[in-house]
Structure 1
């Protein structure tokens, strides 16, 4: 499809803001993007991390209702939504992406609503291990503890306390500045 445009973003660079027009679909080629809401009182809720091969949003016309920021250096492919919707391969891809995102969002709602602080953070670390790093069990955390708190619905103090406890107990082994290895059951 010839309507593809490539864009690069530096770490922490905004990709779009709530209220921006969503006429272009954006697919992550490399890097990771965090998608989030900002509440009237200034609090932020990170709702998802978008990784290579995934679309940032599904707003084909009108305004997007959330923010997107590069979590790492990011390369995106952009395509006009109208062109994507008329291409059968892109339409199938968009539908598949919607199903996958809906599944992740259901899991995130369950994480926020039904789990203890330790269970939330443990599940978050497993999600990061599966989606942002490899092999599973090794973690490279490109986000800050505040960003982790904003995803898990915890305070930064709770996140820091759990990291410290799990490190002391050797369940989470630091292997670098922002890298860890999971050595045992975290939420126990």
Structure 2
């Protein structure tokens, strides 16, 4: 953003022009696993997971191996937006440091525990597993998916659909499925 130019010390005399096709092929976020910080300064460090910036706490900095990764400065305005993003629903995560051996699936910003029986039976072992800061994971595991989130049993043993209301899963009838827009 224009507000980033001076505090982030970007030198506009060094702009490189590229053609439209090359510009459109550029990624909108650093790759997953990249460690970033605010180009304008500050000590906070973040790891990029699926376009979201997760803060790396002091306890995770060395234990998670983030201290040996390259650290890239990013524009302040972009980072502020990335910090607000949630890790996408369906992403499977684990504690990068290995202190918590559990695996979790992200649902609406909440990390839901995957049991040992579900790990293989439900195909989570076939998905990419992303390491995240342990302190961030503890916070995400304490959350519940938001009101209105539609959920189902991943294994397929229960074909019903449910809507979450204040942490409780309420059954959605066949008539309600389309009439109330849950199919959307």
Using structure 1 for the length normalisation, give the TM-score: 0.28
Q: TM-score, normalization: structure 2?
A: 0.28
Higher relative CO (CA 8 A, sep ≥ 6), structure 1 or 2?
A: 1
Larger % of helix: which? 1
